[in-house]
Structure 1
Amino acid sequence: MSLIILDGGMGRELHRRGAPFRQPEWSALALTESPHIVTETHLDFIHAGAEVITTNAYAVVPFHIGRSRFQNEGENLAQTAAQLARDAVEQSGKNVQIAGSLPPLFGSYRPDLFDVNHAAEIALPLINGQKNIVDIWLAETQSSIAEALFVRHLLRDDEREFWVSFTLEDTHPHTEPILRSGETVADAVAALMSENVAAVLFNCSQPEVMADAVGVAKKVMDTHSGSLKMKIGVYANAFEPQTEQMNDANDGLDAIRPDITPEHYLQWAKIWCELGANIVGGCCGITPEHIAQLQIALKYN
């Protein structure tokens, strides 16, 4: 199975480029205040070698833009995010796929806030706004099995590939990799095996915890002979290690680790690929320079 290169962290890259980026809206601000920077950022990731780019819809949820604005504008903002990605692909002239971002519905790293009774009223506008434009669905930064499966079931009849990316607990060591809900990666992967999920990925966590998750995912898939063999992917972040007291992705801008240079990140990516990953990109703090390094070293060497 050939390697697929993803883009990097869209929100932090927008911030780095001077796009409007403040609490609580975060990256959603650029959709209306600086859409040209969104398109330019997508283009730079494409030129760096990304073969799949993800829409800038991550912060288009009530948690960030407020319930009233989401009810009035959420679907249109999601459509704008998808269209800006499509514009970038068309301008590039390259064969690049677009993943429609389906973010955590009630806040990143907060499995305790997931409310199945109100989840559809947030997820459906995101889906409806992007469905006529995107090529792949990506439920990303999922903290629990329940939320990932909920979103999967909403799109059960959609023929496009559905990818799930889990965020991992990375504040202190564990004997086995776990989600931020405390559920094991082994259980999470097993839960997806019968759901026609095309890829399981791990994102928005420290690079140091990703290798074990890839190894567990590969082992679970190998033991389910005859079941769908999902692709395995990683797009880690470059955040400084957090304490449990700091472990809320929405409190403020986390510091970026100076040691995760493009060259250093490549060394992590090589390990993930050796263990079975066939999708690699980056999350928060991973730039077009990082993606270019992955493309050159992993695709052509």
Structure 2
Amino acid sequence: MLILDGGTGRELARIGAPFRQPEWSALSLIEAPEYVSRVHQAYVAAGADVITTNSYAVVPFHIGHECFSARGLELARLAGRLAREVADGAGRRVRVAGSLPPVCGSYRPDLIDLDQARSVLAVLVEALEPHVDHWQAETLSAVAEARLVAELVAETAKPLWLSFTLEDEIADGPARLRSGESVTGAAEEARALGAEALLFNCSQPEVMAAAVRAARLVLGDDARIGVYANAFPPMTADAEANSGLDDIRADLSPAGYSAFAAAWQAEGASVIGGCCGIGPEHIAELARLRR
């Protein structure tokens, strides 16, 4: 089992880094990047095999169009460099995943603008490429976003990991993306695009096992399939992305989250980590689960 890191934004806030809406985790890159390094180091110390660049919020949606035009490339380069430095200093093999986010807002397939996304993601790809081991397009709400990312990173020749966010309201039925598209269709598209891994992130732990099961039916038992769930309450289809800080579930202690992880692993997940609200203590518990 490969262990991913956990959420960055909430961990930055927890350790006292500059943090507010709408900049979210990008504010630390702007004002106090040493905190970003501390978060990466905490996840490495907890046992993560992969740390993710703090580039998720380096988009106009979070930092504004003016700031992105003036400093987007610089900030994304900084995010890549900070992760690379921590990974190289880990004393063991730690990979760096280049985070490529949904440009127009998380959880909202209705807001997707592929033309805007193309121009923004091209900046992130240029900035991050020297520093990352693979691309991690994450919190994708629709298959169209995956197609765009695959096109943009093709010339880098670096592996692509695709990670979709799922409808939170369905715990017993077939797993679906927030666009309503099926996980089966997303897995078929991931295979067609040559993705090295298919993951599911930033959704309720309860919906992940069904998604892993559906993906494995398409991709086979040897496929690299992964999960990194969040600790939020269910997100409705009309949730306003970046409108404020969501509550964190009290039941998702490290032990509670690890119990979910064991179920995902039993279904065929070989890559497990955490998203928003899942911290270094959760990752340390996952590392113990692996042993």
Mapped to 1, the partners of 2:115 and 2:283 lie a distance apart of 39
CA apart distance, 1:80? 0.5
CA apart distance, 1:116? 2.0
Q: Which residue of 273, 280, 283 maps to 2:275?
A: 283
Q: Which residue does 2:67 correspond to in 1? A: 69
CA apart distance, 1:93? 2.3
Which consecutive unaligned segments of at least 5 residues does structure 2 have? none
CA apart distance, 1:174? 6.2
RMSD over aligned Cα atoms: 1.4
Which amino acid in the other structure matches residue 283 of structure 1? C
Q: 1:286 to 1:54 in 2, by over 3 A?
A: same
User: 1:229-256 CA distances to partner (integer Å, 9 max, x unpaired)?
Assistant: 64100000011234455x2341111100
State the secondary structure of the residue aligned to 1:193: helix
Mapped to 2, the partners of 1:248 and 1:202 lie a distance apart of 21
Matched, 1:177 2:175: yes
Q: 1:127-206 alignment to 2 at 5 Å?
A: 127-173=125-171, 175-206=173-204
Mapped to 2, the partners of 1:129 and 1:159 lie a distance apart of 15
Which amino acid in the other structure matches residue 107 of structure 1? G
CA contact (8 A) 2:168 2:236 kept: no
State the secondary structure of the residue aligned to 1:19: coil
User: 1:95-124 CA distances to partner (integer Å, 9 max, x unpaired)?
Assistant: 100000000011111111212222221011
Mapped to 2, the partners of 1:95 and 1:230 lie a distance apart of 21
CA apart distance, 1:295? 0.5
CA apart distance, 1:173? 4.8
CA apart distance, 1:175? 2.4
Mapped to 1, the partners of 2:237 and 2:191 lie a distance apart of 31
Q: Which residue does 2:285 correspond to in 1? A: 293
Mapped to 2, the partners of 1:180 and 1:85 lie a distance apart of 30
Q: Which residue of 212, 217, 227 maps to 1:234?
A: 227
Mapped to 2, the partners of 1:112 and 1:262 lie a distance apart of 34
CA apart distance, 1:32? 2.0
CA contact (8 A) 1:197 1:230 kept: no
CA contact (8 A) 2:233 2:247 kept: yes
CA apart distance, 1:222? 3.1
CA contact (8 A) 1:171 1:244 kept: no
CA apart distance, 1:11? 0.9
Q: Which residue of 253, 260, 263 maps to 2:252?
A: 260
User: 1:274-295 CA distances to partner (integer Å, 9 max, x unpaired)?
Assistant: 1010000000011100000100
Q: Which residue does 2:2 correspond to in 1? A: 4
User: 1:191-248 CA distances to partner (integer Å, 9 max, x unpaired)?
Assistant: 111211000000000000000000000011139xxxxx64100000011234455x23
CA contact (8 A) 2:178 2:237 kept: no
CA contact (8 A) 2:25 2:57 kept: yes
Q: Which residue of 209, 212, 226 maps to 1:211?
A: 209
Q: Which residue does 2:44 correspond to in 1? A: 46
Mapped to 2, the partners of 1:258 and 1:102 lie a distance apart of 29
Q: How many residues align?
A: 291
State the secondary structure of the residue aligned to 1:157: helix
Q: Which residue of 241, 264, 283 maps to 1:272?
A: 264
Mapped to 1, the partners of 2:280 and 2:188 lie a distance apart of 33
Which consecutive unaligned segments of at least 5 residues does structure 1 have? 224-228
Mapped to 2, the partners of 1:106 and 1:244 lie a distance apart of 15
Mapped to 2, the partners of 1:255 and 1:185 lie a distance apart of 27
Which amino acid in the other structure matches residue 210 of structure 1? M
CA contact (8 A) 2:4 2:50 kept: yes
